């Protein structure tokens, strides 16, 4: 659902206007992110702007705008940077062969590679560049989790929010297992997975519910915290991560057993909405903790 693009620093620094034109098209809520490839991508942008504009005002404006790009725009998915002595385009093509980007945006395409979009020719009519912040999905565990798969690949904290979350039932446990697997493979240390649900049962019953399911699913290196909220305060369902999130109109449980709604509408959250929801589900004391 979220497209990750490798973006050549030299392709966006010819002018401040060009820099804004490109970077304004990216962000989790738009369904596109700029890959932080390589890790020093921001520094490379500054160096490119310095070469092009020297110490003039245009350089300063680009650098100041670059500082405003948040992690939900310039996205660190843990990709290796390759051989720093080689040209950026060659490194990007090598990385694409290892783990594909949605596309590579570059000044030139000397080898006519099908993955490369030439920046001067790029506009929203290009199908490979088109993206959306909403999508209908089939309610399988795979599609629920894959909708935010890129976010999970970079997250240190994840919040699963569903008032009816019940890990003893397969329709939630399948999704939870996929989330845990994605987090265990993302290369981050000290990952925290929070489960937020309604406080609509006796504490002892809720404790037994989680005790019977979580320890058997929990991978090494992940801490699970369970939080309870008044049922009347919980309506929407979300997967929130430290780098962005999405809302699910029906629920985080799948329909693989065929007893519920077959599809759902997933919406990627705009930065302001994400910040509000993240704050809503922060600062409470955990009911249960597993590590």
Per-residue confidence (pLDDT) for residue 23, from 0 to 100: 95
Q: Give the Cα separation of 83 and 93 in Å (integer).
A: 12
User: 129 in a domain, yes or no?
Assistant: no
> Where does a domain end: 121, 142, 160?
121
Shared domain for 166 and 274, answered yes or no, is yes
Shared domain for 63 and 96, answered yes or no, is yes
Shared domain for 153 and 282, answered yes or no, is yes
The two tokens of residue 106 are 């570059």
Going by C-alpha positions, the residue among 63, 12, 49 that lies closest to residue 34 is 12
Shared domain for 284 and 142, answered yes or no, is yes
pTM: 0.93
* DSSP collapsed to 3 states, 88-117: HHHHHHHHHHHCCCCEEEECCCCCCCCCEE
Shared domain for 100 and 151, answered yes or no, is no
Shared domain for 98 and 151, answered yes or no, is no
For residue 217, the enclosing domain spans 134-290
Shared domain for 150 and 264, answered yes or no, is yes
DSSP state of 250: S
Shared domain for 22 and 94, answered yes or no, is yes
> Where does a domain end: 93, 121, 149?
121
32: domain CATH number is 3.40.50
211: domain CATH number is 3.30.870.10
Q: Are 75 and 33 in contact (CB under 8 A)?
A: yes
> Where does a domain end: 98, 121, 144?
121
Q: Give the Cα separation of 179 and 195 in Å (integer).
A: 12
Q: Give the Cα separation of 198 and 286 in Å (integer).
A: 13
Per-residue pLDDT of the chain (291 residues; tens, 9 = 90+): 899 999 999 999 999 999 999 999 999 999 999 999 999 999 999 999 999 999 899 999 999 999 999 989 999 988 999 898 999 999 999 999 999 999 999 999 999 999 999 999 998 899 999 999 999 999 999 999 999 999 999 999 999 999 999 999 999 999 999 999 999 998 888 999 999 999 999 999 999 999 999 999 999 999 999 999 998 889 899 999 999 999 999 999 999 999 899 999 999 999 999 999 999 999 999 999 999
Q: CB burial class (10 A; 0-12, 13-18, 19+) of residue 56?
A: exposed
Total domain count, the chain: 2
Instruction: Please state whether the peptide bond connecting residue 38 to the residue before it is cis, i.e. omega within 30 degrees of 0.
Output: yes
Shared domain for 49 and 95, answered yes or no, is yes
Residue at token pair 């894959």: 146
User: 264 in a domain, yes or no?
Assistant: yes
Strands, E assignment, the chain: 3-7, 32-35, 74-75, 103-106, 116-118, 134-138, 157-161, 191-198, 222-229, 237-241, 244-248, 263-268, 288-290
Shared domain for 172 and 110, answered yes or no, is no
Per-residue confidence (pLDDT) for residue 187, from 0 to 100: 84
Per-residue confidence (pLDDT) for residue 101, from 0 to 100: 97
Shared domain for 140 and 274, answered yes or no, is yes
Shared domain for 74 and 179, answered yes or no, is no
């Amino acid at each position: 659902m979220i497209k990750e693009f490798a973006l050549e620093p030299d392709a966006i620094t010819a002018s401040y206007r060009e820099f804004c034109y490109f970077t304004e098209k990216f962000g989790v809520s738009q369904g596109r992110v700029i890959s932080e490839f390589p890790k020093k991508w921001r520094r490379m942008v500054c160096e490119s702007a310095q070469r092009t504009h020297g110490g003039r005002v245009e350089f300063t404006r680009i650098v100041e705008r670059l500082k405003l790009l948040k992690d939900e725009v310039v996205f660190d998915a843990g990709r290796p940077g390759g051989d720093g002595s080689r040209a950026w385009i060659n490194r990007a093509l090598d990385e694409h062969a290892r783990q594909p980007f949605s596309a590579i945006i570059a000044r030139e395409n000397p080898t006519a590679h099908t993955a490369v979009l030439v920046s001067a020719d790029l506009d929203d009519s290009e199908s490979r560049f088109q993206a959306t912040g909403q999508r209908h999905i089939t309610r399988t565990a795979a599609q629920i989790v894959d909708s935010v798969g890129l976010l999970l690949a970079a997250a240190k904290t994840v919040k699963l929010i569903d008032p009816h979350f019940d890990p003893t039932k397969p329709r939630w446990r399948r999704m939870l297992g996929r989330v845990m697997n994605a987090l265990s493979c993302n290369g981050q240390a000290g990952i925290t997975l929070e489960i937020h649900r309604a406080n609509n049962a006796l504490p002892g019953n809720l404790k037994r519910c989680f005790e019977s399911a979580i320890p058997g699913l929990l991978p090494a290196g992940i801490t699970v915290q369970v939080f309870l909220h008044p049922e009347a305060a919980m309506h929407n369902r979300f997967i929130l991560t430290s780098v962005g999130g999405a809302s699910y109109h029906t629920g985080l449980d799948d329909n693989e057993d065929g007893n519920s709604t077959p599809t759902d509408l997933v919406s990627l959250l705009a930065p302001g909405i994400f910040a509000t929801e993240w704050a809503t589900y922060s600062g409470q004391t955990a009911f249960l903790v597993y590590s």
